[in-house]
Amino acid sequence: RNGSSERDSAFQAAREKEWSGDYSAALAAYQTLLETHPQDGPSLHRHAVCADMCGQPAVAEVSFQQALSLAPEDVELVCDCGFHYQSQGNAAAAQHYYEHALTLAPEHQRAHNHLGILLSEAGQQTPAQQHFVHAGLNQQQIADNLQQAQLR
């Protein structure tokens, strides 16, 4: 029980660093937590996100895959993994993860929005618009997203 409360306190401290925007300190805090709890899925997930934010995609990749092996149906993790691949320019992998997130949670707004952006960048305006609608965007936001995609 004591180990669990220590883990919870350490996780909360790492999250607070992350929320404050200090991603390198958060990354280090998650790394320390993972040294004593190497199979902690939430810590692996957040470690991966912070590694991405710190410009360490290879580190993020390892943590994402470890986290996914522990929690393959965690829709937030699956969506964040899609964003990781999208930020690395791997549209096919990103689309796979966004679509998987939507099979887990068909109304997941963030997955719909990211998939819409990905599809609009690929010139697939109609399916992109449908995903933006599912993401809860209004017509002006949809038009803005489509225009941004044309500029990329």
The pLDDT value recorded for residue 1 is 46
Beta strand spans in 51-139 (E): none
What pLDDT, in 10s, does the model give residues 106-149? 999 999 999 999 999 999 999 999 999 999 999 999 999 888 88
d(CA 34, CA 40): 7
Nearest residue to 54 (alpha-carbon basis) of 101, 97, 22: 22
Is the distance from CB of 43 to CB of 11 less than 8 angstroms?
A: yes
Q: Dihedral (C-alpha) 130, 49, 44, 106: value to the nearest 10 degrees?
A: -10
pLDDT of 4 strictly over 90: no
How many helices, marked H, and strands, marked E, lie in the chain?
Answer: 9, 0
Average pLDDT, the chain: 95
How far apart, in Å, are the Cα atoms of 102 and each of 6, 15, 20, 60, 136? 34, 26, 29, 22, 15
The proportion of the chain whose per-residue pLDDT surpasses 70, expressed as a percent, equals: 98
- pLDDT (average), residues 52-65: 97
**Comparison of pLDDT for 147 and 69, the residue scoring more:** 69
pLDDT confidence of residue 149:
83
